[in-house]
Amino acid sequence: MQVDWTIYLTFLGVGLIMLLPQESKSLIRWVALVTGVAALLVALKDYFNYNDWVNAQISAHGALQDGFTQIVNVSWIPALNVKYHLAVDGISYPLIVLNGFVCVTGILFSWNIENRVKEFFAFFLTLIAGVYGVFMAMDLFLLLVFYELAIIPKYFIIAIWGSTRKEYGAMKLVLYSFVGSALVLIGILAAYFAAGGQTFDILELAKHPIAPDVQVWVFPLIFVGFAVLAGMWPFHTWAPTGHVAAPTAASMLLAGVVMKLGSYGCFRGAMLLFPHGFEYWKWWIAWMAVIGIVYGAAVALVQKDFKFIIGYSSVSHMGFVLLGLATLNLIGMSGAILQMFSHGIVASLLFAVVGRMVYDRTHTRQLDELGGLAKVIPFACVTFVIAGAASMGMPGFSGFVAEYQIFVGAFHMHPVLALAAGLSIPLTVAYILNANDKVFMEQDPPAGDSGHGHGQEESGDSPPALPPITLPERVAAMILMALLVIVGVYPSIMLNMIKANVQLFLRGAP
Amino acid sequence: MPVPYFDVLKGLGAEVVLTLTAVVALTLDLVSVRRAEMSVRSRTIGTTAVVGLLAAILPLWQQFNSPPTVLLGGTLVVDDLSVFFKLVIIGLAVITVLISMDYDVGRHVGEYYAVLLFGAVGMMLLISAEELITIFVALELTSISLYILTAFHKGELRSQEAAVKYFMFGAISSAFLLFGLSYVFGATGATSLRAIRDAVKLTAGLGMSPLLATGLLFTIVGFGFKVAVVPFHLWAPDAYEGAPTPVTAYIATGSKVASFFVLLKVLYVGFAGLEGSAFWGHFSSGWTMLLAVTAALSMVLGNCAAIVQHNVKRLLAYSSIAHAGYIFIGLVAATQMGATSVLFYIIVYALTNLGAFGVVAALSSRAGGDEMQNFDGMAKRAPLLSLFMLIFVLSLAGIPPLGGFFGKFYLFAAAVQRDAQHFGLLWLVILGIFMSAVSLYYYLILLKHFYVIDGADHSPIITPTYLNVALGLVALAVVALGVYPKPILELLNSFSYSVVAGWVH
Taking 3-state DSSP, the helix, strand and coil percentages for chain B, each rounded to the nearest 5, stand at 75, 5, 20
- Residues of chain B with C-beta less than 8 angstroms from the C-beta of A79: 337, 340, 410, 485-486, 489-490, 493
In angstroms, the separation between the Cα of residue B214 and the nearest Cα of chain A is 36
Q: What is the DSSP letter of A254?
A: I
Q: Which helix (H) or strand (E) holds A167?
A: helix A166-194
3-state class (DSSP) for residue B277: strand
In angstroms, the separation between the Cα of residue B114 and the nearest Cα of chain A is 41
In chain B, what is the straight-line distance between the N-terminal and C-terminal CA atoms, in Å?
37
Pairing mode of beta strands A69-77, B76-78: unpaired
pLDDT digits (tens, 9 = 90+) for A387-396: 999 998 888 8
Q: Are B269 and B275 in contact (CB under 8 A)?
A: no
Task: Tell me how far apart the alpha carbons of residues B351 and B336 are, in angstroms, rounded to a whole number.
Answer: 23
Task: Tell me how far apart the alpha carbons of residues A141 and A128 are, in angstroms, rounded to a whole number.
Answer: 19
Q: Do B434 and A145 touch (CB under 8 A)?
A: no
Q: What is the DSSP letter of B311?
A: B
**Which of B426, B440, B447 lies at the smallest CB-CB distance from A178?**
B440
Q: Which helix (H) or strand (E) holds B76?
A: strand B76-78
Q: Are A296 and A312 in contact (CB under 8 A)?
A: yes
Report pLDDT for B362: 92
3-state class (DSSP) for residue B81: helix
Task: Tell me how far apart the alpha carbons of residues A391 and A386 are, in angstroms, rounded to a whole number.
Answer: 9
Report pLDDT for B277: 80
Residues 339-368 of B with CB under 8 A from A: 340
Report pLDDT for A453: 44
Task: Tell me how far apart the alpha carbons of residues B478 and A337 are, in angstroms, rounded to a whole number.
Answer: 38
3-state class (DSSP) for residue A85: strand
Report pLDDT for A459: 46
Q: Which residues of chain B have pLDDT under 50?
A: 504-505
Size of interface A-B (CB pairs under 8 A): 83
**Which of B416, B440, B489 lies at the smallest CB-CB distance from A77?**
B489
Report pLDDT for A456: 44
**Which of B394, B410, B448 lies at the smallest CB-CB distance from A167?**
B448
Q: Are B19 and B118 in contact (CB under 8 A)?
A: yes
The interface predicted TM-score (ipTM) is 0.90
Q: What is the pTM of this model?
A: 0.92
Q: How many CB atoms lie within 10 A of CB B157?
A: 9
Task: Tell me how far apart the alpha carbons of residues B304 and B299 are, in angstroms, rounded to a whole number.
Answer: 8
Q: Does B406 touch chain A (CB under 8 A)?
A: yes
Residue A360 sits at the vertex; the CA angle it makes with A229 and A255, to the nearest 5 degrees, is 15
- Test the B interface: residue of A147, A168, A186 with most B CBs within 10 Å: A186
pLDDT digits (tens, 9 = 90+) for B452-504: 888 888 888 899 999 999 999 999 999 999 999 999 999 898 888 877 776 54
Q: Which of A494, A368, A504, A510 is nearest to A51 (CA)?
A: A494
Average pLDDT, 10 consecutive residues per value, chain A (510 residues) = 88 92 89 94 92 88 82 89 90 93 92 88 93 93 92 90 85 90 91 85 84 89 91 87 86 90 90 88 92 92 88 91 92 93 92 87 82 82 90 88 92 90 90 86 55 45 70 90 91 89 80
Which sign, positive or negative, has the C-alpha torsion B238, B243, B247, B249? Answer: positive
Residue type, A113: I
Task: Tell me how far apart the alpha carbons of residues B321 and B318 are, in angstroms, rounded to a whole number.
Answer: 5
Q: What is the DSSP letter of A87?
A: E
Q: What is the CA radius of gyration of chain A?
A: 22
Task: Tell me how far apart the alpha carbons of residues B226 and B237 are, in angstroms, rounded to a whole number.
Answer: 13
Residue A224 sits at the vertex; the CA angle it makes with A220 and A226, to the nearest 5 degrees, is 125
Report pLDDT for B96: 94
Q: What is the DSSP letter of A78?
A: G
Task: Tell me how far apart the alpha carbons of residues A15 and A11 are, in angstroms, rounded to a whole number.
Answer: 6
Q: Do B444 and A141 touch (CB under 8 A)?
A: no
Q: Which of A450, A454, A484 is nearest to A466 (CA)?
A: A454
Q: Which helix (H) or strand (E) holds B357?
A: helix B336-367
Q: Which helix (H) or strand (E) holds A132?
A: helix A117-136
Q: Which of B286, B412, B277 is nearest to A189 (CA)?
A: B412
Q: Where are the domains of chain A?
A: 5-504
With a CB cutoff of 8 Å and minimum separation 6, the contacts of B283 are B276, B277, B289
Q: Does B490 touch chain A (CB under 8 A)?
A: yes
B70 φ/ψ angles, rounded to the nearest 5 degrees: -115, 125
Q: Which of B474, B471, B457, B251 is nearest to B369 (CA)?
A: B457
**Which of A152, A182, A197 lies at the smallest CB-CB distance from B437?**
A182
Task: Tell me how far apart the alpha carbons of residues A4 and A452 are, in angstroms, rounded to a whole number.
Answer: 50
Between A92-109 and A330-351, two packed helices, what is the crossing angle to 10 degrees? 10
Which sign, positive or negative, has the C-alpha torsion A435, A436, A442, A444? Answer: positive
Beta bridge partners of B69: B78
